[in-house]
Amino acid sequence: MIRIDNLTKSFGAFQAVDHISLSVPQGSFLVLVGPSGCGKSTMLRMLAGLELPSGGQVQFGEDTVSDGDRGWMIDPTRRNAGLVFQSYALWPHMTVAGNVDWPLKIAGISKAERKARVVDVLGMLGIEALAARYPNEISGGQQQRVAIARMIAPRPAILLFDEPLSNLDAKLRVEMRTELLRVHRATGATSVYVTHDQVEAMTMATHVAVLNGGKVEQFGSPEDLVRNPATAFVATFVGTPPANLIPVSSLPRERAADLPADALAMYRPEDLIASAEPSAASMAFDFAEASPVAGRTMLTGTQGALRLTAVVDAAPRRQVGDKVHFTVPKIPAALFAQNGERLS
């Protein structure tokens, strides 16, 4: 349904999106995830038709909607795509129903059909009781639902989300993730969702593109990214908590044997052992923090710039300033070169 070929966007000498190619089928939920400044929002704006690519093409179904090589693009209103911004962008002088009705009116849909669609989408989002209220009379979470209702009312084939949950509190974000997935399935649309939160990416996506520095570090399913990170960046960015990367030169001698001296060894947090007492194969770290996670404990220690996290059944009682001793498996889960490329 969405195909991106060699997509590029430059702002002067700065390359915000650097020759990205990927495609997803109809009904997919594609998440673009990465740190601030990685190019994900710029990429979404090109999909929406708000930015002309510097190069490459964007195709929706059988139609090319942007061609940066030829310097043209189809107007955003003719792409059969809806967009929800990080800010809800509701019209303050219109009621909830009026906000949802307005794009339908602009599209030339009859009054009777507009009324039916407004009732339908407000019911789908559970906000039918708010129809007569104004945006300043409802909560942030309710405003977000109105923005989503307004987007899906015209029944677009593609739904575009630009960090839509970042302004909500933690509990409401979890609830809205479920709501967004329900809307996605109910509409049958293909969704593209931008976030810097890898938890959102892993829980919502059918396909994930991890962006860094304008490039795709890895593209695949959430399971692929966690089980088989292609680069050191992906290994330390996805997962809850993400994997640990330790320079082989920092490992105990018996763990470093037969490993390339200049490599980075990856160990999953659940495979580490943490103890208050040292052993021949352990490494001493300064205790940083411990927090309960689903009946287990996530324990973190630091050693200079190196930070190590273990998920254990029973954590040693430690306080800040104490030492905690971590033991890693004999064989690392993966090896990476210093430049981040995977070795094995």
CATH number for the domain formed by residue range(s) 242-336: 2.40.50.140
Confirm whether pTM is higher than 0.85: yes
Which pLDDT belongs to residue 88? 79
Which pLDDT belongs to residue 142? 92
CATH number for the domain formed by residue range(s) 2-236: 3.40.50.300
- Residue that has been written with the tokens 């300043």 in this structure: 136
Q: How many CB atoms lie within 10 A of CB 198?
A: 23
Question: What is the domain partition of the chain in residue ranges?
Answer: 2-236, 242-336
Which amino acid belongs to residue 281?
A: A
Task: Mark 257-281 as b/e (b = at least 16 C-beta within 10 Å).
Answer: eebeeebbbbbbbebbebeeeeeeb
The reply to whether 242-336 shares the fold of 2-236 is no
Which pLDDT belongs to residue 101? 96
Q: In what order do the strands lie in the sheet with 334-336?
A: 244-247, 264-267, 334-336
* 3-state secondary structure string across 58-116: EEECCEEEEECCCCEECCHHHCCEEEECCCCCCCCCCCHHHHHHHHHHHCCCCHHHHHH
Which pLDDT belongs to residue 166? 84
Which amino acid belongs to residue 238?
A: V
Which pLDDT belongs to residue 315? 83
Instruction: Report yes or no: 193 and 161 within 8 Å, Cβ to Cβ.
Output: yes
Which pLDDT belongs to residue 321? 83
Instruction: Report yes or no: 255 and 60 within 8 Å, Cβ to Cβ.
Output: no
Instruction: Report yes or no: 79 and 71 within 8 Å, Cβ to Cβ.
Output: no
Query: Quick one: which of 147, 96, 144 has its CA closest to 119?
Result: 96
What are residue 195's DSSP bridge partners? 33
**Strand pairing category for 334-336 and 323-327:** unpaired
Classify residue 99 by burial, with Cβ atoms within 10 Å: 0-12, 13-18, 19+: buried
- Report mean pLDDT in 10-residue bins for the chain, 344 residues: 97 95 97 94 96 97 96 94 87 95 93 95 93 94 92 94 86 88 92 92 95 97 95 94 95 92 96 92 94 92 95 88 94 96 94
